[in-house]
Structure 1
Amino acid sequence: MKVRFSARDGAWDEWAPALRAALPEMTLSRDGDPAGFDAIIYAPGGDITDFTPYRNARLIQSLWAGVERIVGNATLTQPLARMVDPGLQRGMAEYCTGWAMRAHLGMDRYAQDGIWRNGQVPPLADARPVTVLGMGALGQAVASMLTAIGFPVTGVSASGRAVPGVSVLPVAALDQALARAQILICLLPDTPDTQGLLDARRLALLPQGAWLINPGRGTLIDDAALLEALDRGRPAHAVLDVFRAEPLPADHAFWSHPAVTVTPHIAAETRPETAAPVVAQNLRRVMAGQPALYLVDRQRGY
C-alpha cells in the first residue's frame, strides 16, 4: 500500500521509522501523485489542505485525538479516523492524576517559610468527589486511574454509556455534576456544543474551593468568566493546559493570576512508539476491506 504522510515540519524524522517498523508492507512518502495513494496519515501543520485530488484514499488517519482542525474541511470526503493511542491515554491520565493529587493534598499550602502548619490535614480520597467532563477514551483512562486511588468519580458523557466504577450522567445533568465537583477535569472535544460551555453561570455552580483542571480544549471555558470566578474563589484554582490562542500571549491575564497555573499544552502527546501500531492496525483493516476503527462522526465533530 502507498501512504502519504502530511504533518508539521520535523514530524517526518520522528514518525517515519516507527511507522515503517509497524507496517513494513507500506510505502510511506511525503509527496507524489495524489491519485496514487491508498491512505493519508495526517496531523495539523502539514501541507495538505485540499483532499480532493486524493480520490483513491480509503482513509485519512489522524495522529491527533482531536480533529476539530480537519473535520470541517469541505474537501474531505474520505473516511476520517481519530487517534486512540494507549500512550496518549496514559499520559493524560498521569497529568490529570498528578494535578488532582496536588489539589487534593493541598500541596501548595506548605510554603517553606518556617511556619508549622500541622493543623491542615486533607481528607482521604474517597471524601473528595471528582467530576470528569467527557468520557471518551481519554476520560475513561483518567477516571480509571483516579478510581484506583479511591476518588469517587462522576463522568459526564454525551453517549451516556456506562463506565465501570464511575457514575455517568448525561449532558442534561451537567449542573448536578458541577455542583458536586471538588475537582473538575475537562476533557471534552471542541465542537459547537461545547464552546463556552463553562460560562459564568456554570462556574458559579462549583463548590467553594474547587479546583478546575483543563487539558481538553481552550474553547470550553469563557476566559473572562473564569478570571472573575477565580477572584471569588469558585474555583479556587485553575490548571490550564490548553487555550484559545496558542502559544498563550505573554500579556494574557492567566500568566499573572495567582490562582492560575499555566502549562504549555503538554498534558498528553501522541507518541510514535505507541501510536504507530494503532495506525498500522487501521490501515491493514481498511486495505482488507474491513471498517476502520475510531471513525469520526462528522455531525458530532469527533
Structure 2
Amino acid sequence: MTILYAADPAESEAWIGSLRALDPKLDFATWPDWGDPDKVDFIIVGGRSPGDLSIFKNARAIQSTWAGVNHLLKSKFPPGVPIARMVDQGLSANMVEYLVYWVLDALRQGRELRAAQREGKWIDLPLRWARDFPVGILGLGTLGVATAEKLVGLGFPVSGWSRTAKTVAGVRAFHGAGQLGDFLAPLKLMICLLPLTNDTEGILDAKLFAGLTDGAILVNAGRGGHTNDADLLAALDSGKLAYALLDVFREEPLPPDHVFWRRKDIVITPHVAAITRAGTGAEDILENYRRALAGKPLLNPVDPSRGY
C-alpha cells in the first residue's frame, strides 16, 4: 500500500517528513514517479491539481492540504472516491490574524497615515470606534466563523452571509440571494471567505459592489476566481470602493505587468493569509488515511456537488 503525494517536491518533502515522524512505516510515492498505480491507496494533493488522478483505481480517498478544493474538483479522479479538505487549527489562526490585522488597520486609517508619512505630512485624523465600523464576512465556514468571533470580541458590529442559514453568537447572520442586499447595505468593510463554486465564481462584481455603501473597503482572502477584475477596477475608479486588499488572484503568481501592481488603491499580499503547515496538519491526514483504509467516514469531507 502506497500514499501518493501529488505536489511540488518542496511541499511534498515537508509533508512526507511530518507524516513519517508520526508513523515511520508509511510508504510514499511522489508525482510523477508513482510506480504501479494499482498500489496507490491514498492520494494527497497540494495547492494545484497535478493532473488526471483517475488512473489510481484502488485509491480509497483523496486528501487536500488546502481548505479550498476547487482546483482538485477540476481534476479527473476515480468515481465515488471520497475527498477531504484541510481544516487546520494553525490555518484558522493564521487567517484570523491576517484579517483582524487589516480590519484594525482600516479602522485606524493606516493607509492614510502611511501616505502622509511618505509625503512628510503631520495629519490629524479623528479617532474612530470599532462599534461604528460595521464589518461583513461573505462565507461563514470554519474560517469565517473564527474571524467573526474574534472581531465581535474586539467590539465590531459583525454580519455574515452564507448560502444556507447559520447561527453564530454575536453575529447578524444572513443567507441566500434574497438577503444579500440587506447584508451589504451597512458595511464599511467586507471580507470574502467563500469557497469557489459555480455559484460564487465572479461574485465580487458590479452588482454586488453597488449594494455596498460608498467608500467601502474590500478584502478578498477567499479565491481569485471570486473577483471580477474589470468590475473591481471600475468600482475603485468611481469611488464606490475606497480600496481593495487582495490576497488571491485569478493567476498566481500575479504577473509583473498586471495592472493591479500599479494601483495605489489596491493592496497586494501574495496568497499568504493562511497556509497549512505540515507540522499542524499531518495528524488529520494520518487519521483520514487510517479511516479510509478502514472504510470509515473521513474528517472534513467534501461534497463535490456543492464544490466544498
The two structures have a TM-score, normalised by structure 1, of 0.93
Q: Once the 2 structures are TM-superposed, how far is the Cα of residue 46 of structure 1 from its aligned partner? A: 6.5
Paired residue secondary structure (1:261): strand
**Partner of 2:96: helix, strand, or coil?**
helix
Residues 66-88 of structure 1, C-alpha deviations (whole Å, 9 max, x = no match): 11112133434211111111111
What is the alpha-carbon distance in structure 2 between the residues aligned to residue 136 and residue 191 of structure 1? 14
Secondary structure of the 1:143 match is helix
- Once the two structures are aligned, what percentage of the paired residues are identical? 43
Q: How does 1:30-41 map to 2 (within 5 A)?
A: 30=30, 31-41=34-44
1:13 matched to 2:13? The reply is yes
Give the Cα–Cα distance (whole angstroms) in 1 for the partners of residues 256 and 12 of structure 2. 30
Contact kept, 8 Å, 1:50 with 1:76, in 2: the verdict is no
Give the TM-score normalised by the residue count of structure 2.
0.91
- Report the alpha carbon displacement of residue 25 of structure 1 after superposing the two structures with TM: 4.5
Q: Contact 1:9–1:46 at 8 Å: present in 2 too?
A: no
* CA distance 1:276–1:109, shift in 2 (3 Å): same
2:199 to 188, 193, 199: 193
Identify the match of residue 169 of structure 1 among 150, 165, 174. 174
Change (3 A) 1:231 1:202: same
Equivalent-residue separation in structure 2 for 1:255 and 1:68 (angstroms)? 26
Q: Which residue in the other structure is 2:159 paired with?
A: 154
Which runs of structure 2 are paired with 1:25-64 in the superposition (5 Å)? 25-30=25-30, 31-45=34-48, 47=50, 49-64=51-66
**Residue 75 of structure 2 corresponds to which residue in structure 1?**
73
Deviations 1:247-297 (A, max 9, x none): 222222211122111111111111111111111222222233320011111
Aligned pairs, how many? Answer: 300
The Cα offsets for residues 33-90 of structure 1, whole Å up to 9 and x where unpaired, read as: 221222111124465x232332222110111111111213343421111111111111
Separation in structure 1 between the aligned mates of residue 23 and residue 136 of structure 2, nearest angstrom: 39
Aligned residue identity for 1:137: T
Deviation at 1:211?
Answer: 0.9
User: Could you tell which deviates more after superposition, 74-83 or 58-67?
Assistant: 74-83
Q: CA RMSD in A?
A: 1.8
Distance 1:199 1:291, change over 3 A: same
Correspondence for 1:238 among 229, 244, 249: 244
Does 181-190 or 241-250 show the bigger shift? 241-250
Q: Does the alignment pair 1:86 with 2:89? A: yes
Deviations 1:9-42 (A, max 9, x none): 3222221111112344432332232212221111
Question: C-alpha separation between the residues in 1 aligned to 2:300 and 2:211?
Answer: 34
Extract unaligned runs of 5+ from structure 2: none
Partners of 2:49 and 2:75 within 8 A in 1: no
Secondary structure of the residue aligned to 1:154 is strand
What runs of 5+ residues in structure 1 fail to find an aligned partner? Answer: none
Deviation string 1:111-135 (CA, Å, 9 cap, x unpaired) is: 22554433x2232212211100011
